[in-house]
Amino acid sequence: MEYLFNNAGMGLFTKAQNSTSALIDTIFEANLKGMILLTSEILRLTPDEQELTIVNIMSTSALFGRSEETIYCAAQWGARGYTEALRIELKGTKRNIIAVYPGGMRTDFWKIPGQNRDISSFMDPAEVAEKIVNAVIVTDKMFVTDITINRKK
C-alpha cells in the first residue's frame, strides 16, 4: 500500500474588496494547484494494480464560508470539489481518496502582521496528525472517506 498525504496550504485574511489577481494566484497555487499537480503525477507514476491511498488535508474552511477568508475559502472549496470528483473518477480502482478537514491548529498559519490572535485553545498539529494516521492506516475491512477534526470548546 502506498500513501500520498497532500498537506500544503497558505492562508489569507483580508476583506473581499482587497482581492487582487496576484493574491488569488498565490492562494490558489498553494492550496489547490499544487495538490492537483502532485496528485496527477503520483497517479501517473503508480501502476494501476498497486493500491494507493491519497489523503487530501484541507481545512474546515472547505466546509464553511468565513468572513475575511473569501479567497482562502474559495481555494479550499476547490480542493474539496477536486477531492470529491477524484473519488468518483477512481471508484472501483485500487485508489482510495480520503478528505480531511481539520479546524484551527497552533501553527504559524495564524501569525498575521498587526494581529495578535490567541491560538492557545487551538489543536496541537502532532495530535491531529496522529488522529489522521490512525484513521488512514488502520483499515481492517473498511476505510474512512472523510474526517473532520475539531477542537473541544
**Is 17 a residue whose pLDDT tops 70?**
yes
pLDDT in tens, 132-144: 988 888 766 677 8
pTM recorded for the entire structure: 0.89
What is the phi/psi pair of residue 40, to 5°?
-60, -45
pLDDT in tens, 50-65: 999 999 999 999 999 9
Q: Which of 65, 62, 74, 153 is nearest to 100 (CA)?
A: 62
- The C-alpha cell that represents 41 in the structure block: 503525477
Which amino acid does the sequence have at 84? E
The domains located in the chain, with CATH, are: 2-149 (3.40.50.720)
Give dist(CA 36, CA 86) in Å, integer.
10
